[in-house]
């Protein structure tokens, strides 16, 4: 169990969740000195407000934390995570449930763990977090696995490219595979051309750190096939259509799709879901040199469609389409891809609400319902067929960018759809992969958006542990 969680102890400090409606009734359950201290300090249970109440000995006796009304629709179930950094170091436990549903304690404990993160690779870590004794009704081991996977993905995203280039990201994927005894195959450099991954090669060939495809598999061959594809652009200059300097500042996070796929894969393998998991990570650095791919070039993709390059800064969809074509060759039951693909998605929905696109209405409904329940939000946007013609090319099967400035996230999804085979249930997530300012459960920095939600969905579908052979 991560050190941010604690084993049950008689010395742990109780945390009481209070609302305006419950505050008066709870006073009878609290020590008299705590009630007196709260009254003297003018405590009112506004959401987010906390008060540390002393015991007669002078030690901390209990903590009061205001939350939204238990029956409020859409209440912030992750709000208790703020306590991890607000409280003095020590061990704490929930004295009562933070909400009316059985899931409220699980979300609160999860948020505590997710909030207990700082990126410390380069020495600026310092803060000691308060530790939580997980509630008895919560699967503490599962909680720890989820938090560990999310923290690991954040570390990958937050690491600058000089320490997280293609070779380093491949090494990180190998470490995940080793932990779970998964099989890994790597196709690298010119071997990508020999094995028919021309677009991955074209995007990454200008870098000194060669392009590659990580192909990880785990689980019984006869189990339902679940495939994850993650965009692994370790840095994106924009290529010859070079970005302005301000747009390059966060491009270390352009591999957040790959980090998200690894985090979700780690949760699936750690829980031993009854699936045959495949994780495909096309990994490149979109650099500039004499052999960089150019605007106007035409390449034949793995699927056989020819692609005209309208813009070298739309490189993510190029590496994804070869990986998606490979994924579809074995007809998985479900196929998810993750990519920091378009600025248009941020303009439409902001950094915290990733759009997703799906060719299966039943799957899309399950994603939306689960995202709401897990407070890992997404919003479905349409695969609008009328916009498909915006990808037309006069000399190739299609262009990698649309012919105009509108609907950039939708046309990117439509581009990817061209490489999905009929009968494969597919969802594409256009994530931001970053939290601009700290929120409960989401510290500022890298974030594998959608991983928690999709794990919950897959666990509900394929939750029976796989049998030992």
pLDDT digits (tens, 9 = 90+) for 338-355: 999 999 999 999 999 999
Task: Please give the average per-residue pLDDT across 232-258, as a whole number.
Answer: 97
Pick from 291, 253, 269, 305: nearest CA to 434: 253
Is residue 223 very low, low, confident or very high in pLDDT (cuts 50, 70, 90)?
very high
Residue 465 makes CB contacts below 8 A (sequence gap 6+) with 271, 272, 273, 274
For tokens 């060719």, the residue is: 359
Is the separation of the CB atoms in 184 and 246 below 8 Å? no
- Is the Cα torsion angle 421, 424, 428, 433 positive or negative in sign? negative
Is the separation of the CB atoms in 135 and 105 below 8 Å? yes
Chain mean position to CA 247: 22
Is the separation of the CB atoms in 440 and 111 below 8 Å? yes
Report whether pLDDT(382) > 80.
yes
pLDDT in tens, 399-446: 999 989 999 999 999 999 999 999 999 999 999 999 999 999 999 999
Task: Please give the average per-residue pLDDT across 372-382, as a whole number.
Answer: 97
Q: Tell me the pTM.
A: 0.96
Q: Across 202-316, where does the E strand assignment appear? A: 212-218, 225-230, 232-236, 276-286, 298-300, 306-308
Alpha helices per DSSP H over 67-165: 83-86, 103-115, 140-158
Report whether pLDDT(454) > 80.
yes
Q: What is the dihedral of CA 27, 30, 33, 34, to 10 degrees?
A: -80
The DSSP string of 129-144 is: PPEE---TTS-HHHHH
pLDDT in tens, 145-179: 999 999 999 999 999 999 999 999 999 999 999 99
Query: What pLDDT does 2 receive?
Result: 55
- Is the Cα torsion angle 271, 276, 282, 283 positive or negative in sign? positive
Which is catalytic among the residues 118, 174, 243, 300?
243
Query: What pLDDT does 126 receive?
Result: 64
Is the separation of the CB atoms in 114 and 435 below 8 Å? no
Query: What pLDDT does 101 receive?
Result: 84
Is the separation of the CB atoms in 62 and 50 below 8 Å? no
Query: What pLDDT does 466 receive?
Result: 55
Q: Report the C-alpha gap between 266 and 227 in whole angstroms.
A: 13
Task: Please give the average per-residue pLDDT across 113-135, as a whole number.
Answer: 89
Domain architecture of the chain: domains with CATH: 13-116 (3.40.220.10), 144-462 (3.40.630.10)
Query: What pLDDT does 1 receive?
Result: 44
Task: Please give the average per-residue pLDDT across 370-386, as a whole number.
Answer: 97
Query: What pLDDT does 468 receive?
Result: 45
Alpha helices per DSSP H over 187-248: 191-194, 198-204, 245-248
Average predicted confidence (pLDDT) for the chain: 95
Q: What pairing do the DSSP bridges indicate for beta strands 276-286 and 212-218? A: antiparallel
Query: What pLDDT does 465 receive?
Result: 61
Task: Please give the average per-residue pLDDT across 136-153, as a whole number.
Answer: 95
From residue 331, how far is each of 32, 300, 426 by CA, in Å? 64, 22, 11
Q: Report the C-alpha gap between 414 and 289 in whole angstroms.
A: 30
Pick from 356, 401, 393: nearest CA to 377: 356
Is residue 64 very low, low, confident or very high in pLDDT (cuts 50, 70, 90)?
very high
Complete edge-to-edge strand list for the sheet that includes strand 298-300 = 298-300, 306-308, 398-399
Is the separation of the CB atoms in 399 and 308 below 8 Å? yes
Which is catalytic among the residues 317, 346, 442, 452?
317
pLDDT in tens, 272-324: 999 999 999 999 999 999 999 999 999 999 999 999 999 999 999 999 999 99
Q: Report the C-alpha gap between 369 and 457 in whole angstroms.
A: 9
Q: Is 72 a catalytic residue?
A: no
Task: Please give the average per-residue pLDDT across 226-238, as a whole number.
Answer: 98
Q: Is 317 a catalytic residue?
A: yes
Query: Which position has the higher pLDDT, 469 or 299?
Result: 299
Q: What is the dihedral of CA 249, 254, 259, 264, to 10 degrees?
A: 120
Is residue 469 very low, low, confident or very high in pLDDT (cuts 50, 70, 90)?
very low
Is the separation of the CB atoms in 282 and 254 below 8 Å? no
Is residue 74 very low, low, confident or very high in pLDDT (cuts 50, 70, 90)?
confident
């Amino acid at each position: 169990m991560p050190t941010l969680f604690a084993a049950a102890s008689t010395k742990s400090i109780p945390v009481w969740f209070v609302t305006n409606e419950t505050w008066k009734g709870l006073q009878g359950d609290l020590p008299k000195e705590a009630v007196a201290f709260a009254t003297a300090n003018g405590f009112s249970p506004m959401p987010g407000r906390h008060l540390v109440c002393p015991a007669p000995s002078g030690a901390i006796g209990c903590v009061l934390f205001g939350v939204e009304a238990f029956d409020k629709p859409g209440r912030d179930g992750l709000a208790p995570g703020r306590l991890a950094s607000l409280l003095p170091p020590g061990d704490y436990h929930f004295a009562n449930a933070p909400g009316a549903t059985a899931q409220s304690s699980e979300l609160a404990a999860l948020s505590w763990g997710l909030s207990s993160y700082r990126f410390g690779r380069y020495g600026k870590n310092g803060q000691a977090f308060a530790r939580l004794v997980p509630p008895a009704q919560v699967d503490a081991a599962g909680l720890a696995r989820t938090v560990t996977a999310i923290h690991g993905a954040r570390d990958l995203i937050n690491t600058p490219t000089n320490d997280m280039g293609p070779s380093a990201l491949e090494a990180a994927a190998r470490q995940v595979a080793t932990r779970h005894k998964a099989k890994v195959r790597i196709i690298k450099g010119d071997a990508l051309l020999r094995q028919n991954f021309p677009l991955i090669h074209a995007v990454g060939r200008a870098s000194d750190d060669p392009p590659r495809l990580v192909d990880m598999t785990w689980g019984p061959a006869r189990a339902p096939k679940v495939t994850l594809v993650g965009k692994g652009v370790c840095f994106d200059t924009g290529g010859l259509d070079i970005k302005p300097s301000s747009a390059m500042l966060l491009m270390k996070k352009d591999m957040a799709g790959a980090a998200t796929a690894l985090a979700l894969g780690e949760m699936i393998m750690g829980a031993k879901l009854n699936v045959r998991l495949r994780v495909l990570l096309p990994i490149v650095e979109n650099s500039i040199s004499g052999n960089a791919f150019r605007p106007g070039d035409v390449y034949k993709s793995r699927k056989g469609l020819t692609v005209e390059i309208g813009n070298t800064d739309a490189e993510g969809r190029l590496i994804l389409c070869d990986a998606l074509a490979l994924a579809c060759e074995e007809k998985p039951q479900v196929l998810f891809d993750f990519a920091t693909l378009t600025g248009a998605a941020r303009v439409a929905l902001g950094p915290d609400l990733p759009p997703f696109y799906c060719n299966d209405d039943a799957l899309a409904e399950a994603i939306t319902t689960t995202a709401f329940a897990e407070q890992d939000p997404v919003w479905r946007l349409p695969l609008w067929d009328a916009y498909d013609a915006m990808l037309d090319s006069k000399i190739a099967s299609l262009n990698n960018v649309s012919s105009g400035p509108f609907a950039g996230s939708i046309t990117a999804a439509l581009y990817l759809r061209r490489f999905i085979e009929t009968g494969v249930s597919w969802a594409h997530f256009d994530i931001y992969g970053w939290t601009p300012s700290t929120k409960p459960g989401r510290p500022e920095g890298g974030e594998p958006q959608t991983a928690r939600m999709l794990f919950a969905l897959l666990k509900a579908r394929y939750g029976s542990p796989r049998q030992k052979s």
